[in-house]
Chains A and B, each alone.
Chain A
Amino acid sequence: MTEEPLHTKPEDYRILIESVKDYAILILDPQGRIISWNKGAEKIKGYTSGEITGRHFSVFYTGEEKAAGVPERNLQKAMKQGRFEDEGWRLRKDGSRFWANVVITALTDEEGKLIGFGKVTRDLTDRKAAEKEIERLNTELKERLLKTETEVFDYKLALDEAAIVAITDQKGIITYVNKNFCKISKYSREELLEQDHRIVNSGYHPKAYIRDLWLTIANGKIWRGELKNRAKDGSYYWVETTIVPFLNEKGKPYQYLSIRNDITLRKEAEEQLYRINEELESKVKERTYELTQALEREKALSEMKSRFVSMASHEFRTPLSAILSSVSLIEHYTAPEQLEKRNKHVERIKSSVKNLTNILDDFLSLEKLEQGRVDVRGTEFNLGSLVEDVIEEMEALVKRKAQTVHLSFDGDATVCQDKKILRNVLLNLLSNAVKYSPEEKGIWISVSTGGEEVELAVRDEGIGIPPEAQQNLFGKFYRADNAVNIQGTGLGLHIVKRYMELIDGGIGFTSEEGNGTTFTLRFPKRLNGE
């Protein structure tokens, strides 16, 4: 189809103008009276063509503008400039107002003579309303924003005041710290900004703990926990921490806000409490142990005492028994030829009495020693003779067990010492050697008196002293386990030791269970430098 130029006849324009509903298109005569009206005008202004034709267009203006002569002025302007555009209020038929955009065009003929005006009016009510709404919304938005900003500011202020705050980017570089952060970490703001947050790392926490922290916040979740940090001066502080990730539109963290509270004091208190608890527990353990030990010692002592009482009872009853039976037997031997038998028993009685007396003497010696009532008196005598006397005194017992006593003496025999004490000591040691040695064994006494000191040793091949007993050997009433069935009060060695102390000497021993014992005495040749 071939294109045909559009024929635009005046008729077409008229139809167009008449039909347009969105614009009020009027034609005014040169005085401003309405001579043409379209559908748009009817819609916008409300008048029908019949009602408005011939009327002055100032009827559309508000009272004030009409009074001010605005309509005529507008026409003038249009005439002068050929065209006049304006926005303002216009009145409808029903008196309601609407905001209009008006273009008045002066219509002239070919000679330039004014033949009238073209007026195109657009109802901008909707637009105006929209504009007003926008403005209103804008204002509202501004107000809300301001309010929110103020609130946020207040929150931020509160946070900064109340807590220790820091912000890092997603890599952990510090972008913001508040005053409190600087105060507790002892770094200045300048020293902290752009630093890696690890600047306050203390190295206290296990790697797994820190890894878990990063995993949590990198995944956009809030992490809460306690952290031990290191300040600039190397001191440590504890903080209760909440780290909040800020997420971008993709849901990935772009910064981390950490809010902390100083709990150093609490942690220190906790630690101290823990320490005190530990100390208390260990003290309790100690005390319990001490008490248990003490109790055991008590028990042991009590046992020993009752063993002693048994032993003492035995020690007394044995000689008494011998005496009583010998007396009984003497009563039988009344005939003169039984004199020998009678004498035998008389001797037996005497020796038993002596036994008893010895035991009693032991008790009394101990008592005297403990009361400090023992007189120490030095006299000059022959030590060798004393030893021989003691050996002789023990002869009967030695012979009975078929034992042999060997004596060796080296050096000067004259000493100035307490003879009584030395005699007692020697008797005890020798009697022990005999008692605790099996039959037919030997006993060696060796004396040497070189220099200022006398050394006297008594060696036996007897039952020996077990290691456990060696510690307590010189204790009061002490009997070694391997000696309980052998007659003895447990006082002998104790008394010996105390006697030795009185004469400025001492006693020691070496022994092996089953292999014999050697007791060694040491004492000054001359007592008190006499």
Chain B
Amino acid sequence: MKTILVIDDNEEIRENTAEMLSLHHYRVLTAENGRTGFAAAKADPPDLILCDMMMPESDGQDFLHRAKVDNDLRHIPVVFFSAGTASHFISNKLITASRGFIKKPFLEQDLLTAVERVLTE
């Protein structure tokens, strides 16, 4: 069973996403910002990380920076949720470092397709 870490500051989205993934037989961990997400990933390295871009205290970029310099976490694929037009938040580095973007609000099917694709690459 694959493990997925969901990082999002919004409780409803975090819980709903976790619930959705559990129903499709994934083991799900959650965290509410980049910092706590990093700690959770270190403690229990997942197979995939779903991460929101805009979060207080420590956002998506911050998480990515931390993860990419960490030996344990650099190889774990990261997919970002984006909920804004925030094109200027998405640097080229981010685009190349991540494995994709899921735009909110997303359909259940879109989420699952993206997850499966990345996990089987």
Contact = CB atoms under 8 A, between A and B. Distances in A.
Interface of A: 306, 309-311, 313-314, 317-326, 328-329, 332, 345, 348, 351-352, 400, 485-487
Contacts of A323: 105
A400 to B, nearest CB: 7
Given A321-B83, A325-B13, A400-B11, 7 more contacts: A318-B13, A318-B104, A320-B104, A320-B105, A325-B16, A345-B16, A485-B57
A326 B17 CA distance: 9
Contacts of A348: 12, 16
B69 interface: no
Contact of B20 (A311, A320, A325, A487): A325
Given A311-B84, A317-B84, A485-B56, A324 B105 contact: yes
12 contacts: A313-B83, A314-B84, A314-B86, A321-B106, A325-B13, A325-B16, A325-B108, A329-B19, A329-B20, A329-B23, A400-B11, A485-B55
Quick one: which of A329, A400, A485 has the most chain B CB within 10 A? A485
A328 B20 contact: yes
Interface string B1-38: 00000000111110011011001000000000000000
Nearest to B34: A485
The 10 closest A-B pairs by CB, nearest first: A325-B16, A322-B12, A321-B105, A321-B104, A317-B83, A310-B84, A328-B108, A324-B105, A320-B105, A486-B56
A4 to B, nearest CB: 148
Contacts of A486: 56
B12 A314 contact: no
Quick one: which of A314, A326, A329, A345 has the most chain B CB within 10 A? A314
B86 A329 contact: no
Contacts of A487: 9
A329 B54 contact: no
Contacts of B9: 487
Contact of B59 (A320, A322, A485): A485
A319 B54 CA distance: 14
Contacts of B23: 329, 332
Contacts of B88: 306
A164 B20 CA distance: 106
B107 interface: yes
B102 to A, nearest CB: 10
Interface string B46-62: 00000000111101000
B115 to A, nearest CB: 14
A486 B108 CA distance: 26
Nearest to A328: B108
Quick one: which of A313, A317, A325 has the most chain B CB within 10 A? A325
A323 B108 CA distance: 12
A317 B82 CA distance: 9
Interface of B: 9-13, 16-17, 19-20, 23, 54-57, 59, 83-86, 88-89, 104-108
A329 B59 CA distance: 27
Main secondary structure of the interface of A (DSSP, over half): helix
A322 B84 contact: no
Contact of B104 (A317, A329, A332): A317
B10 A313 contact: no
A485 B10 CA distance: 12
A486 B9 CA distance: 9
Contacts of B107: 324, 328
A314 B108 contact: no
Nearest to B60: A485
Quick one: which of B10, B59, B89 has the most chain A CB within 10 A? B10
A324 B16 CA distance: 10
A322 B19 CA distance: 12
Contacts of A485: 54-57, 59
A331 to B, nearest CB: 8
A326 B54 CA distance: 21
B85 A313 contact: yes
Contacts of B54: 314, 485
B5 to A, nearest CB: 17
B104 A310 contact: no
B89 A325 contact: no
A314 B16 CA distance: 17
Contacts of B57: 485
Nearest to B85: A313
Contacts of A317: 83-84, 104-105
A313 B104 CA distance: 10
Nearest to B59: A485
Nearest to B23: A332
B90 to A, nearest CB: 11
Contacts of A329: 16, 19-20, 23
B13 A314 contact: no
Contacts of B20: 325, 328-329
Nearest to A323: B105
A326 B19 CA distance: 10
A345 B107 CA distance: 16
A329 B111 CA distance: 13
Contacts of B13: 318, 321-322, 325
Contact of B10 (A311, A318, A332): A318
Contacts of B10: 318, 321-322
A324 B12 contact: no
A310 B85 contact: yes
Contacts of A352: 12
Contacts of A318: 10, 13, 83, 104
A329 B16 CA distance: 8
Contacts of A310: 84-86, 89
Nearest to A319: B12
B82 to A, nearest CB: 9
A326 B105 contact: no
Nearest to A322: B12
Nearest to A351: B12
A321 B103 CA distance: 9
A471 B83 CA distance: 30
